[in-house]
Structure 1
């Protein structure tokens, strides 16, 4: 097929983008050029077969392409059922589209396919011409023959004709695009009266029995997860530097050679309290974490000893040391944490700040301004640098010696004694703390959790800067925190709940009066919001989609039928005014809105068409186990 193309083109340079295009073709259409008729069947679509070999080949090529375009993708993500199901779904779609093309009499000649391939700029040389040598070289790079690629491309080309035909039925008029523009860009204001739970906190009381009852009924919320204690030897330049000797002469020579770079950066000495939570956690877990940090922040601002609070409440590795972080300069912490720490004055406590690890409160104990250092000031820093340089030459040798002894059955304490090192026993910590504490991957943390108590992992664990050998010292089962450790938190939560109930009741009473026309004493409390859009972010009240939807849907300026919960409190509201979308902006952006609306409508139409094909088709996945 397409012999003319393979015979008539000349020399070129491979472009990286070609790998992506190859992946797209194979991802959607598999290796239809392969003879897989004798392979086990993966799925059937009407009377067509998708073989296991075709699926696995499409999976491999898609995975390779994703790794090239996104080096951060993990093996777990590539092996996930969702990724595999997506690949099989595309293979099924290709069969359905090709089947529909056959019914409609849609095909593609070799000449059409030839012309389409030669129009792909990834196959052009520097003169902008199609080149057979580069074409074949690029195909070899992804282990495909021209016949295989051309067969897949032809299928893609035919399916594209069907998709284009479906899309052509769904054109958006300027009037329809304007309706969408007006809907998206319309804004409103509201008039509202806010009942904040904070107004009612002083009226609430929580008894000891209520605290105990809540604790007993919600014990699962106060569980300390399964923890481990490990004994370890670390083989990194930083850890091995302790055992290296550095002379004063070496330090002086280094200082003389690097004097210009010996500048003391601005530094902060701080402690912190961490409540761990991830963006992937549930909304309930997110809210619980924020409530915890807010309560702890209130205690810290009230004058409670920060170090004691950190020991009691912090979930970070520094908790046993009162949250102490020591001195650090810019660039040492994640950006959000750093910004808050350097913005907080000496002796101050930051408001809760969110990072990838969770919610933090930071106490800044001291600050240092940037300055040029003297030899005495940097002597110990230079000693550490030189010691790490010497240690880096010994990491591999010491690790090999330690491994030889471990294989012979020696314990880490004894190995450390023989090598002049110290085997350290960690404090108890849960799995999610291990990566942060030791600089290892989450996968390595799971390996450590699985080590039987009293035994060692027989291969080194990779950590930041080197490796560590690990023994499981102790497994500590999950258990609830003692009541005395969470009593303050529970009390504050219950008071907040009671205050919220009172705020809700007050809002309902206000709404009843307003609807009855009893406005005496309430006019002064009515506030007007700034304009806001349909995304639900109401100025001064926070995110409240229900309130925004009700206000945008209001037919008049009467008070809305019920109070609404917002981050600021319970709100009684009515529509203020509507602010139409700008005509001037529409004229500037008109073509872009028409184009975007058309694309969206085309995609919806195509998705609906594909859904219809799937519903009518006979689809059987004969090897669902391969998707797990």
Structure 2
């Protein structure tokens, strides 16, 4: 491999040089909803039969989130958290793909190599510059890992490094620019995968009144625990309001570009309020005057839980009955006028009211992961057999093949 590849690179006779081919991998994502919350053994992804567990994903995500927020100097938004979560999951999958290829080629890492690498980690050294056992144990405690798991991570990293060295061994040239160009052009993998969620199999789990009753007879305690765990999130419904709004905005200094101040805008909304009292159409006025995103839909805010409303809005709407118009609300950034359309009182669903729904959810949660896994195995087997995605099996579940695009081994 070495001399012929080196000759190609030096002569430039082969513009594509030599590409490293790694076996096609099918990755099946099992839905999280099918496993109990907080269960660190639940599966995030399966790569050629190897499960990537929630415990590993959660630890990697927490570390990445801490570093990201430290770099940004602030907490991440929901969108940034979702993006980071996807990236961490992708990194774990890519790392597992490379690890499997290294093992397939018969590469291994000895305990001596792991120990040598451990002793070289700078931040585990004490004031004397040598490995410090106490610092090491504190570090493991902070990571919430035991010594064996941490050393297995070192072993995996070294194994990936060996694969990269194997790939590059034929390009041992002195010119750094040539070597870097060859690495960039050739040392990449492209992973195709199918995302299979357990929730896609909900309809395949048949639940009859009889089967539900039978299941409940032996799982009442689990239903009770689920109800108590999800009470605040699913069954404790705060008061909700359906309303419309007209918003006139101001700058941070309370003055608009046209010179109008908050007081001027409040006076304008008072005139609109008088017009509404005289029978004017609120939605038509919102489309004409309102300056926020709801203007195009007549100021419709939809149904909102009261705790999610701005304090000023909740206070103003508490004073009116459905069909009524609020007082003018002045905030630091805008002036608002609300119409209350509907008020839905707070309510807590009792266990008796939701028992059957909880049972159905848990029954499906028990059944769908196995169905998803079986589907993944069937797709993978056909894919390996034919070398191409099994379109009929994919179409039956409305599944599609996705690709990571070229992934550098570095």
Identify the TM-score tier after normalising by the shorter chain: 0.3 to 0.5
Normalization by structure 1: what TM-score? Answer: 0.25
* Bigger Rg, structure 1 or 2: 1
